Amino acid sequence: MQALLSILAVSAAMAAILWVDVRRRRFRARSVSPLAGLDLAAPAVAAGAALSRLFVRPEPAWPLFSAGALIGAYLWQRGERARQTPLAEGVIGAELLIAGGLAVAIHRWIEDAAAPVLQVGAPALVAGCGVVLLVAVRRRFRRRDAVRRVLDHAVHHGSAAKPEYHRPTPECPQPNRWRMLDTMTAEIEVLEFLRTLVTTVKPRLVVETGTFLGISTLYIAEGLRENGFGKIVTCDPDPEVFARAKDKMDASGLGDWIDYRCQPSLEIDVAGTIDLLFCDSLPELREPEVRHFLPQVNPNGLILMHDASSHLRTVRAAALRLEKEGLLSVVLLPTPRGLVVAQKRDRTP
Ligand SMILES: C[S@@+](CC[C@H](N)C(=O)[O-])C[C@H]1O[C@@H](n2cnc3c(N)ncnc32)[C@H](O)[C@@H]1O
């Protein structure tokens, strides 16, 4: 009877951990893939294994309880990481197999060095399967385009505000004071800055390169709507990304302010003078984009280049090069990912 009660108590604890994990990770997918299910179950399984060493067995096994508790805490932390930024599905489950299998194998070997080979070999084999799974899921993940990975993550976990992911830099040592929705969309404070900039300088024509989910586009369009005039032309050549952004923009009620194109930035045809150019496509494209659009930019207009932190280098170096060539006057805003605010040098007095 006692054993049955213990089993029920451990199962209830596992179910509670699983329930809290599902809720905290805001898992939104209707159908969870087997690998994602394994990841979700991993902390609860580790905790259940740890608790069963104390309460279900006749003799408490403290070393295995401690190992299970540590592994559970680590996997819980990994779940938090997977909530913040994309992590290959199956990685957390694979880590459970590796750490759990090794813990049991080592414990058995220490307890009885002469134990039958199978007793140590079986958990070691489980750890080996974990390694194979880890390598396989990581490989598959790396093959997926970086933009699509973030898109998948946003689709599965939603885009709730969370602390900024970018590492500290000399110019921005505490990035966690900023917030982000995902690692592709500009920081929330930068989005708010874009909207305020639009209501401040009142551009007639804004060009944005790199739409992604259309969030920065919507912030800019909100500014245009508040002004009561203007247009934003935004472009992204990825059809899957573009389709999602289009749905979002169509549902936003801001469609009248947006001209969206599923095209690469250097191929879009923009008529008229650009009052605000926001370059946020691929880092290596930002410099060609500025050079391409510069003749069309209003001499009193603004040019923004995102991802110009000293860590991300490419864009920062491009902006400084354009300044050195006498084409731009550049200010480097010390945001987590870095933002260049620039103006043409040959502007009218
Ligand atoms: C950093 S994200 C844009 C984020 C968005 N501006 C925001 O803050 O909400 C970069 C996007 O650039 C797009 N991209 C890639 N190549 C491009 C190109 N040649 N022209 C325009 N966009 C491009 C990618 O598909 C990706 O969606």
Rounded Cα distance, 343 and 325, in Å: 13
Amino acid at 160: A
Express each pLDDT in 277-334 by its tens digit: 999 999 999 999 999 999 999 999 999 999 999 999 999 999 999 999 999 999 999 9
Q: Is 147 a pocket residue for ligand 1 (Cβ < 6 Å)?
A: yes
Lowest-confidence pick of 85-99, 233-247, 335-349: 335-349
pLDDT of residue 349: 55
Express each pLDDT in 116-168 by its tens digit: 778 888 999 999 999 999 999 999 999 998 899 999 888 877 778 999 989 99
pLDDT of residue 11: 92
Q: Which atom of ligand 1 is nearest to the CA of 191?
A: 8
- 344 DSSP β-pair partners: 328
Q: Is 236 a pocket residue for ligand 1 (Cβ < 6 Å)?
A: yes
Question: Average pLDDT over the chain, rounded to whole?
Answer: 92
Average pLDDT over residues 197-203: 98
DSSP state of 186: P
Q: Is 288 a pocket residue for ligand 1 (Cβ < 6 Å)?
A: no
Distance between Cα 335 and ligand 1 center (Å): 19
| pLDDT surpasses 70 at 254 | yes
Q: Is 234 a pocket residue for ligand 1 (Cβ < 6 Å)?
A: no
pLDDT of residue 241: 93
Express each pLDDT in 204-217 by its tens digit: 999 999 999 999 99
Average pLDDT over residues 62-67: 89
Report residue 253 CA to chain centroid gap: 26
pLDDT of residue 289: 98
**Backbone dihedral region for residue 272 (phi beyond 0: left; psi -120 to 50: alpha; all else: beta):** left
pLDDT of residue 318: 98
Q: What is the DSSP annotation of 143-181?
A: HS-HHHHHHHHHHHH----EE--SPPBTTBS-GGGSEES
| pLDDT surpasses 90 at 77 | yes
Express each pLDDT in 284-296 by its tens digit: 999 999 999 999 9
Q: Does residue 59 or residue 81 have the better pLDDT?
A: 81
pLDDT of residue 29: 55
Give residue 107's pLDDT band: very low, low, confident or very high (50, 70, 90): confident
pLDDT of residue 216: 98
Average pLDDT over residues 68-97: 93
Q: No. of H helices and E strands in the chain?
A: 11, 9
Rounded Cα distance, 51 and 64, in Å: 9
Asked if 135 and 6 touch (Cβ cutoff 8 Å), the reply is no
| pLDDT surpasses 60 at 55 | yes
Q: Is 312 a pocket residue for ligand 1 (Cβ < 6 Å)?
A: no
pLDDT of residue 346: 72
Amino acid at 154: A
Q: Which atom of ligand 1 is nearest to the CA of 234?
A: 21
Give residue 21's pLDDT band: very low, low, confident or very high (50, 70, 90): confident
Distance between Cα 308 and ligand 1 center (Å): 15
Distance between Cα 175 and ligand 1 center (Å): 22
| pLDDT surpasses 70 at 348 | no
| pLDDT surpasses 80 at 347 | no
Of all residues in the chain, what percent carry a pLDDT higher than 70?
A: 96
